[in-house]
Amino acid sequence: MHELSIALSILDMVDEEAQRRGDVGIEAIHLKLGLLSGVVKEALLSAYELASEQTRFAACPLVIEDVPVSVYCSNCNAERSIRSVQCFCCVECGMPASEVVHGLELQIWALELAE
Amino acid sequence: MTTTPRIVEVRQNVLKHNDEVAHALRSRFQEAGVFVVSLVSSPGSGKTTFLERALTMLRQQCRPAALVGDLATDNDAQRLARSQTPVKQITTGSLCHLEAAMVDRTLEGWDLKELDILLIENVGNLVCPASYDLGEDLRLVLLSVTEGEDKPLKYPTIFNSADVAIITKMDLAEVVEFDRAAARANIEAVRPGIQVFELSAKTGQGMDELLAYLQEKSAVRSPAS
Ligand SMILES: [Zn+2]
């Protein structure tokens, strides 16, 4: 379980970003979390709650957007969904495909600033 | 006056720092001409036995070294010392995975130009190491015949992140009624096209093929000197 260290990194990065913008208040943190990121959403949310306690982010929610897996299918010559993470096959044509396009994300993509 | 939140996009990767260190390591490895291979597996997959055998064999052909993420016992350290190759332990504390900065720190004191191949053994864990780039050229995932054929389906993320899958302890395949076809199909399902090797570090079966493959990959990578 490395979700606590991930949560701490998120807080550090957001804190830095807030300072950079003139110590602005942060009202929410939006995170993109890929299904193949190796991070478990529920574990990250509880780790975040723990890590943000008694910090300036205690009341600032971490909003997680799940990013499903998509691959490049050479047969369709297009980005496609897969059947499941247990079966890396194009949902359209059924061809095996392992070139991951989305699903690895672990990214703070936006912040809600207080004005 | 009411406050309206303003949304700003920042698009910052949470593992940005690790990725930067890994990137720098990768350039250093390339410049020094070291081919770097990392190993991930569950505890008990036979990693240490594999590492000992691989180092001993590689030593006949080139200058290998290893960084070891977790040594379960002193015995493991002694076994690796027997290979007579440089081996250092990475202190992970209670961490469940290696990070690029730990690799960087542990390499201090080694002249990379003196090495041809560096094996990095990650902590025995099939979840956490998936997210962390260590600057390696190849990531090997090990699966022993005693772990069950469905392991790739239970841990698709790490199998999908690997470049090569290795089925270890093949000497026990018959005893445990290992279903070779099912295991290979499951690996292929979560990582289509991945190279799979079957071997026994105990008997040496299949080791030559894997090491030849690594040498070949390393030759392709290094610029002609
Ligand atoms: Zn397709």
Identify the band that residue B5 occupies on the pLDDT scale cut at 50, 70 and 90: low
Percentages helix, strand, coil for chain A (3-state, rounded to 5) are 25, 35, 35
**pLDDT above 90 coverage of chain B, percent:** 76
Average pLDDT over residues A98-109: 96
Amino acid at A27: E
Cα separation of B202 and A80, whole Å?
Answer: 43
Looking at per-residue pLDDT, the higher value among A53 and B77 belongs to: A53
Q: Please determine, for residue B20, whether its predicted confidence score (pLDDT) is greater than 50.
A: yes
- Domain ranges, residue B88: 4-218
Residue A37 with chain B: CB contacts under 8 Å: 131, 157
Amino acid at A68: P
Report CB contact under 8 Å: B160, A108.
Answer: no
CATH number of the domain enclosing B195: 3.40.50.300
Total tally of structural domains belonging to chain B: 1
Identify the band that residue B225 occupies on the pLDDT scale cut at 50, 70 and 90: very low
**Residue B72: its pLDDT value, please?**
64
Cα separation of B130 and A38, whole Å?
Answer: 6
The answer to whether residue B224 is domain-embedded is no
Q: Which residue of B has its CA nearest to A11?
A: B14
- B68 strand-pairing partners: B89, B121
Residue B41: closest CA among B133, B120, B134, B136: B120
Identify the band that residue B75 occupies on the pLDDT scale cut at 50, 70 and 90: confident
Cα separation of A32 and A88, whole Å?
Answer: 21
Q: Which helix (H) or strand (E) holds A3?
A: helix A3-20
* Angle made by CA atoms B150, B155, B160, in degrees to the nearest 5: 105
Identify the band that residue A2 occupies on the pLDDT scale cut at 50, 70 and 90: confident
The answer to whether residue B225 is domain-embedded is no
Question: SS3 for B212?
Answer: helix
The whole-angstrom distance between B187's CA and the closest CA on chain A is 9
User: Which of B3, B131, B194 comes nearest A38 by C-beta?
Assistant: B131
Question: SS3 for B107?
Answer: coil
Token output for B69: 């993420």
Chain B residues contacting A, CB < 8 Å? 3-17, 95-97, 127-131, 153, 156-158, 160-161, 188-194
User: Which of A37, A38, A88 comes nearest B192 by C-beta?
Assistant: A88
**Residue B73: its pLDDT value, please?**
67
- Answering whether pTM is above 0.90, one says yes
Q: Which of A101-105, B106-110, B126-130, B170-174 has the lowest mean pLDDT?
A: B126-130
Q: Please determine, for residue B3, whether its predicted confidence score (pLDDT) is greater than 70.
A: no
Strand pairing category for B64-68 and B117-121: parallel
Residue A39 with chain B: CB contacts under 8 Å: 131
User: Which of B10, B17, B128 comes nearest A109 by C-beta?
Assistant: B10
**Residue B1: its pLDDT value, please?**
52
- A110 strand-pairing partners: A30, B9
Token output for B171: 């000497």
Show the domains of chain A with their CATH numbers.
2-113 (3.30.2320.80)
Residue with tokens 């379980």: A1
